[in-house]
Amino acid sequence: MLQVHRLAVYPLASPGLSLVIANLLLSITYMAELEKRKGSLKTLWILICFLTVIPGIGYVFFVSVFAYMVKMADGELQHTLCAGLSGLAVGLSVWSTLEDQDEEEVQYRMLFGVIRIPRRLVPVLTIAFYFFLAPDTSLILHICAAGSGYLYASKQLPAFLLPSDETFQRQEQEGWFHRLTNRRGFVSVDDIGPYLPISTTNTEPIHSVPGVSTPFQGQGTRLGD
């Protein structure tokens, strides 16, 4: 019997409590960063589609091919494991590294929130951590998640998998999604991105008075608009 739903829910299972804690320490920081940059609804889409379902499909494909090549019995396939948030942690580490590669000031990252390491080594060390210290996780899943994170960050995925910001804006205003947008902590697509002041055509000099704050004379525009 096909159990397609497992492609989306396997991160909810975990081999042990210690692995749950390690996964959360590795992934929560990246999730918060992703939400600030992309918005809450878009982050949910990225986590489910690019870092859960697509790596899960890749895992099933490569395991099936390997099982066919070595003529593995069905009973032995039951011992293969694809569970936990480790795939999310690996995919997010790859995405974050590629997103920051143009920011020269971001040269280091914090692993587990306490270990300072060079930014470019984060994905490699994350995969190595799971491979050597968490044997209950799947290297195939991690490679698939890293590949999916790379394809997303480098914008090499099919266009139909990458809805525009306008699409997410419409979804935020429709149905039960509109209730979530009013919740505290929800990051709308309209709120993402840094803002810089851009001066107007008014060239009249502004004289500041010591001890008195002067209001900004101009218009705020979000970068990327």
Question: Considering the domain boundaries, does residue 186 fall inside one?
Answer: no
User: CATH no. for residue 119?
Assistant: 1.20.1540
Which residue(s) pair with 152 in the sheet?
none
Ranges of the chain with pLDDT below 50: 1, 194-203, 205-206, 225
Q: What is the pLDDT of residue 58?
A: 93
Which residue(s) pair with 196 in the sheet?
221
Q: What is the pLDDT of residue 198?
A: 43
Q: What is the pLDDT of residue 81?
A: 67
Tell me the backbone φ, ψ of residue 224, rounded to 5 degrees. 100, -15
Q: What is the pLDDT of residue 195?
A: 41
Question: Considering the domain boundaries, does residue 120 fall inside one?
Answer: yes
Question: Considering the domain boundaries, does residue 133 fall inside one?
Answer: yes
Q: What is the pLDDT of residue 91?
A: 94
Q: What is the pLDDT of residue 145?
A: 95
154 by Cβ neighbours in 10 Å (0-12 / 13-18 / 19+) ranks as exposed
Question: Considering the domain boundaries, does residue 177 fall inside one?
Answer: no
Distance of CA 146 to the CA centre of its chain: 11
Domain residues for the domain of 124 are 6-165
Number of domains in the chain: 1
Distance CA 182, CA 188 (A): 10
Question: Considering the domain boundaries, does residue 187 fall inside one?
Answer: no
Question: Considering the domain boundaries, does residue 54 fall inside one?
Answer: yes
Q: What is the pLDDT of residue 169?
A: 86
Question: Considering the domain boundaries, does residue 117 fall inside one?
Answer: yes
Whole-model pTM: value is: 0.75
Question: Considering the domain boundaries, does residue 198 fall inside one?
Answer: no
Q: What is the pLDDT of residue 128?
A: 92
Q: What is the pLDDT of residue 180?
A: 75
Q: What is the pLDDT of residue 104?
A: 58
